[in-house]
Amino acid sequence: MWDAGLEVGHSVRTVDECLTSAKEDFFFQVSLVDARFLAGEASLFATLQTRFRQEFIEGCRPQFIENMLAFRTKRHQNFGIQPYLLEPQIKENRGGFRDIQAMLWTAQMIFGLPDLAAMEEAGLLHNDERRLFEDAWDFLIRVRNRLHYLSTRKNDQLFFEHQEEIATAFDFKPADGLLAVERFMCELYRHMQTVAVTTDLFFEHVRETLSSLPTASPDRRLEPGIESRQGWLHLTDATQINKKPALLMRIFALSAKTGLPIHHRTKKLIKNSLHLIDSRWRRSKRLTRPFLDVLLHCGKSQHALNALLETGMLAAFIPEFAAVECLAQHDIYHVYTVDSHLMQTTAELHRLQTEESRIFSSITTPHILFLAGLLHDIGKGEGGAHADRGARIAGPIAVRLGLTPDEQDTLVFLIRDHLFLSSTALRRDLEDENFILRCADRIRNPERLAMLYLLSIADARATGPTVWNDWKGALLLELYLKIAHTLNRGDRLPPDRHDNIAWLRRQVGELLDNGSDLDPALLPEDYLLSFTPAMIVEHIKRRQALNKAELLLHAEEEKGHWALLILTKDRPGLLAKICGVLALHNLDVLAAQIFTWPDGTVVDQVEVIPTIEGNFTDQDWRGLEADLLAAINNRLGLAHRLHLKPAPLRRATPPAVARTRQKVLLDNDTSMESSIVEVFAAERPGLLYEITRTLADFGINIFRAKIAKEAEKVIAVFYVRNSDGSKIEDPALQEELRQGLLFLVAARPGRSTATLPFL
C-alpha cells in the first residue's frame, strides 16, 4: 500500500495502551467501536473488546453521547451547518461521512445496534428511511472515490475545478435549463440532505432517551391533537391526521409562534403523511392561514420554517417549490442552494423588521413581503429569466392561498422586479431625474417601494458574504429615498431643471463672494446638478492651485469606500490613465463622475475600495499622486505594468460560467442625454483601464461610470457621448464599438481570439 502511494494509518499498542489512548482521544475511542479481528491472537482481541466495553460503554453512555454531541456541534460550526454549501466538504460538512459514522458509532455504543439493518429492526429507522440513507451513503462513497482519484491525493473538499469533471464521469447531461454540473450537484445535495435530516432525527431520539433532567416547560395541550411536552411539540394522535390534515400545518404555525421545536417522531409522522396534502387541501383556509402564520412569526425561531422544508411539507403544500429544492447554481456568487437561499432571505426579512422598523411599519400586508422572500427565486427551477418565470409561477400560488386581487398583484410585482432596485442602484445614474421618475412610475406606490427595498437588502445579504457591503447599502438607500420623494410629491413631474440650475448658480456665487475669476454661469449644468454648492466652491478654490501643479489629488475616507477628487487639465485618454494607475495601487473603482469645465479643467470624482487588506492611512497617497502625474504626462507604461501585475489570489472561474459571461450592451433609451454602454466580463487586473482606453480610442467621452462586481464577474457601465455631445446612434459605429469591446473582454493569454462571443 505504501508502494502504491497510499497513506496507511497504523500503530502498535498493548491493550492497556489502547485504553489509555481511548481516554485521551475521543476519536481513537470511537475507532475502537469499529475494531475488527483480522489476524493474530483472537483471545487478545477479545480481551480488548471486553475491557473496552466495561470501561467505556457500561455505565458511560451519558458521557459518551455528551462528547459525541459536543464534537458534532463543533464540527458543524467549523465546516458548515448547511449540507448544501457552494463547495461542500463531503466528509466533515453536515450531511457528510462524519455524520454517518457518528450515527453508527452512537447506535452501537448506546443501543448495541451494529448496522442499519439492526437499527431498522429496532424501529429507529423506517424501511424507506433506511433505503434512502443507503442510497445517499453509496452516492457519497462514489463521489469521494472519484474526488480522490481526480485530486491524486486525500481531499474531501469538492472544489469547483472537480465538480464538472465528476458530473461528466457520472454521465450527467444538461436538461430543463440546468447545466450537467448543476444537476450533479443537486443530486449530491439531495443525498447530503437525506443524511443530515436522518442523523438529526436520530440524535434527537438519543437525547430524549438518555435525558434525565426535568424540563422547565410544563406539558400542556395547545389545541386538539397538538401538545407541548418537555419543550417539544407533538402530534398526539396519528389517526386524527387522516381526518384533519390541517394539523400537519397547524403544528408548524404553533412552532413559529411559541419558538418550540417539533419532536422528531412527529417530524417522521408528518413525512409519512404528506400524501394527504392534495389539491383540495392546498386551497383550504385551514392550511393557508397557518402557513402564512409560519412566515409571519418564524422570526422568533427558524425551527418552524426549516422543519417545513426538511420534512417535505413545504413542497407538498406548494408543489412548485420542489423544482428549487437542493438546486445548485454553478457560480461563486451564490453560496447556498436556491431553497436554502430562500430560507435565509426570509430570516433576513425578519431581522430587517427590527433594523428598519420605521420603513417596515409602513407596510400594511407584511405576509406578502415574507411570501415574496420565500418565493422570489422560484423561477430558477425552470432555467433562465428566473424573475419573469417566477412571477408567472407565483400567480396561481397566490390564487390558491386566497390572497386578494391587490395582494396577488403585489406578490407578482415583487417577484418579477426583485432585482430592479439592486441592479438600478449599482448600474444607473441616480442623478438622472427623468430616470428616477420612470422608476417611480414602475413601482407606483410607497408601500410597494418599501417592500421592494427591504426584499432587495434581504436577498443580497442571503446570497453570500461578498454581495452586501456599505457601498451597496448606501446606493440602495439613496435610490429608495429619491423614488420615495418622487412618489410622495404626487405630481410625478420632474423638478424644473432650469430653476434648479439657476438656484445653484446663485448659491455658488454668494459663497464665492467675488473671490474667484471663474464665473459660475460658465459651469456645466450636469456638474452643477451633481454636487452641493459648498462642494462646488471647494473645487473652484482647489482649481487655483493648478497654476503651480499639473494635478491635484484629494482623498477622503467615507463609509464603505474612499472618495478621490482629481483635478487636472483635460487631455486624451485621461480617465483610462486614472483607472490604470488606480489598479496599479490596488484600488478598485466603484464609480466615477467626469466633468470638464469650459477652461479645460477636469474634475473627476472617483469612488474606490482597496483590493487588499489595509486602512486609509496606510495607503501610499503621495505615490499614487506621483504615478498619476507620470501617467498623464506619458511617462508611465501602464499596459506593461498591469500585464506584469500578479492577479489577486482567488478560485479559478468555473469553465461553464466563464463561457457564458462576456457580453456588451448599448442602450440609447434609458438616458435622455447619453448612450449607456454596459460591459459584462470576468474580473482581471487592469480590465477597467483597457475598457476606458478602448472607448477613448473611439473618440468617445465618458461622463459617468459605475462598476458593479458580483464575485468573479464585473459589470462596467458607462454613460458616454460622441465628441460633439451626441448619443452613439450610428449603427456602424455601434457594431464596431461592440466588437472591439467583445474582443477585449474575451481575450486571454494563450487563447485564440479568432472566434469571439457575440450578442
Answer positive or negative: Cα dihedral of 208, 209, 211, 217: positive
The residues pairing with 602 across neighbouring beta strands, listed in sequence order, are 568, 596
Per-residue pLDDT at 80? 63
Q: In this structure, what C-alpha cell is assigned to residue 401?
A: 392561498
Contacts of 584 (CB under 8 A, 6+ apart): 627, 638, 641, 642, 645
The amino acid that residue 68 corresponds to is M
Task: Please report which helix (H) or strand (E) contains residue 432, including its range.
Answer: none
Secondary structure of 382-422 in HEC code, one letter for each residue:
HCCCHHHHHHHHHHHHHHHCCCCHHHHHHHHHHHHCCCHHH
Between the alpha carbon of residue 299 and those of residues 306, 352, 354, the distances in Å are 12, 10, 10
Contacts of 415 (CB under 8 A, 6+ apart): 372, 375, 376, 378, 379, 387, 390, 391, 394
Between the alpha carbon of residue 680 and those of residues 427, 676, 707, 718, the distances in Å are 12, 13, 10, 12
DSSP state at residue 469: -
Strands of the 226-229 sheet, one edge to the other: 220-223, 226-229, 232-235
Say how far apart CA 436 and CA 479 lie, in whole Å.
8
Contact predicate 591/607, CB 8 Å: yes
DSSP state at residue 698: T
Contacts of 557 (CB under 8 A, 6+ apart): 563, 616
Strands of the 551-558 sheet, one edge to the other: 551-558, 561-569, 601-610, 587-596, 701-710, 713-721, 675-682, 663-667
Q: What is the share, in percent, of the chain residues with pLDDT greater than 90?
A: 61
Q: Which domains does the chain have, with CATH numbers?
A: 59-210 (1.20.120.330), 216-317 (1.10.110.30), 330-472 (1.10.3210), 549-748 (3.30.70.260)
Say how far apart CA 550 and CA 548 lie, in whole Å.
7
Residue segments in the chain with a per-residue pLDDT below the cut of 50: 650-651, 659-660, 749-759
Answer positive or negative: Cα dihedral of 671, 675, 681, 683: negative
Contact predicate 369/336, CB 8 Å: no
DSSP state at residue 36: -
The amino acid that residue 184 corresponds to is F
Q: 604-647, pLDDT tens digit by residue?
A: 999 999 988 888 999 999 999 999 999 999 999 998 888 887 76
Per-residue pLDDT at 750? 37
Say how far apart CA 214 and CA 755 lie, in whole Å.
72
Per-residue pLDDT at 752? 35
**Kind of pairing, strands 663-667 and 701-710?**
unpaired
Q: In this structure, what C-alpha cell is assigned to residue 517?
A: 475669476
Residue 705: exposure state from Cβ atoms within 10 A (0-12, 13-18, ≥19): buried
The amino acid that residue 623 corresponds to is G
Say how far apart CA 94 and CA 96 lie, in whole Å.
6
Measured from the Cβ of residue 38, the count of other Cβ atoms closer than 10 Å reads 6
Q: In this structure, what C-alpha cell is assigned to residue 400?
A: 390558491
* Alpha-carbon 637 to chain mean position: 38
